[in-house]
Amino acid sequence: MSINRRDFLKGALAGVTLLAAAAPAEARPNNTMPAEAVGLLYDSTLCIGCKACVSACKDANNMPAEFSMDEHYWDSPLDISGKTLNIIKIYKEGTGENKDQEKDGFAFMKVSCLHCVDPSCVSVCPVSAMTKNPVNGIVGYDKEICIGCRYCVVACPFGVPRFQYDTPFPQISKCQLCRHRLAEGKYAACATVCPTGATLFGKVEDLHGEAKRRVALKAGEMSEFPRGNINTHDQSSHTAKAAAYLPKIYGEKEVGGTQMLKLAAVPFDKLGMPTLAEQSNASISETMQHTMYGGLIAPLAFLGALTYAAKRNVKEDEHEE
Partner 1 sequence: MANAHHPAAPLGGSLVTPTTLLLAALVLVAAGILAVRFLFGLGAVTNISDGYTWGIWVVYDVVIGSAFACGGYTIALLVYILNKGEYHPMVRPALLASLFGYTLAGIGVIFDLGRYWNAWHIFWPGYAQINSVMFEVAVCISAYIIVMWIEFSPAFLEKFGKKELKKKLSKLLFVFIALGILLPSMHQSSLGSMLVVFGNQIHPLWQTILLPLLYLMTAVLIGFAIVIFEACLSSAGFKRPLEMHLLSKLSKLMIWVLAAYLAVRIGDLLVRGALVRMFEGSIEALMFWIEMGLFIAPLVILASSSARLNPSKLFIAASSLMLAGFLLRINSYLVGYEPPIGWHYFPSVPEILVSVGMIAFEVLGYIVLVRYLPILPGNVETTVAQIRK
Site residues for ligand SF4, window 154-213 (CB under 6 A)?
Answer: 156, 158, 160-161, 172, 174-175, 177-178, 188-190
Residue 123 makes contact with partner 1 by CB under 8 A: yes
The only residue of 30, 31, 86, 283 in contact with ligand SF4, by rule CB under 6 A: 86
Q: Of 228-257, which residues contact partner 1 (CB under 8 A)?
A: 255
Distance, CA of 133 to CA of 44 (rounded, Å) = 27
Among 113, 198, 246, 264, binds ligand SF4 (CB under 6 A): 113
- The reply on whether position 82 binds ligand SF4 by CB under 6 A is no
- Minimum CB–partner distance for residue 154 and partner 1 (Å): 6
Which residue, 202, 208, 260, is CA-closest to 231? 202
- Tell the smallest beta-carbon distance from residue 294 to ligand SF4 (Å): 23
Measured from the CB atom, the residue of 61 and 81 that comes closer to ligand SF4 is 61
**139 interacts with, out of ligand SF4, partner 1, none, CB within 5 to 8 A per kind:** ligand SF4
Q: Is 171 in the site for partner 1 (CB under 8 A)?
A: yes
127 contributes a contact to partner 1 by CB under 8 A: yes
Contacts of 177 (CB under 8 A, 6+ apart): 38, 39, 40, 113, 115, 138, 139, 188, 259
Choose from partner 1, ligand SF4, none: what does 119 bind? Cβ within 5-8 Å by kind. Answer: ligand SF4
Is residue 261 within 8 A of residue 236, CB to CB? The reply is no
Distances in Å between the alpha carbon of 314 and those of 15, 56, 321? 21, 68, 11
> Is 34 exposed, middle or buried, given 0-12, 13-18 or 19+ CB atoms closer than 10 A?
middle
Nearer residue to partner 1 within complex by CB, 84 or 192 = 84
Task: Candidates 28-36, 56-64, 261-269, 289-297: pick the segment binding ligand SF4 (CB under 6 A).
Answer: 56-64
Give the one residue of 155, 193, 194, 200 binding partner 1; rule: CB under 8 A: 155
Report the residue from 29, 148, 195, 295 that binds partner 1 according to the rule CB under 8 A: 148
Indicate whether 151 belongs to the interface with partner 1 (CB under 8 A): yes
Using rule CB under 8 A, residue 12 touches partner 1: no
Q: Choose between 98 and 196: whose C-beta lies nearer to ligand SF4.
A: 196
Q: Are 108 and 45 in contact (CB under 8 A)?
A: no
Among 68, 128, 232, 236, binds partner 1 (CB under 8 A): 128
Q: How many residues lie near partner 1 (CB under 8 A)?
A: 73
- Burial class from Cβ neighbours inside 10 Å (0-12, 13-18, 19+) for residue 69 reads exposed
Interface with ligand SF4 (CB under 6 A): 56-57, 60-61, 85-86, 112-116, 119-121, 124-125, 127, 129-130, 139, 141, 146-152, 156, 158, 160-161, 172, 174-175, 177-178, 188-190
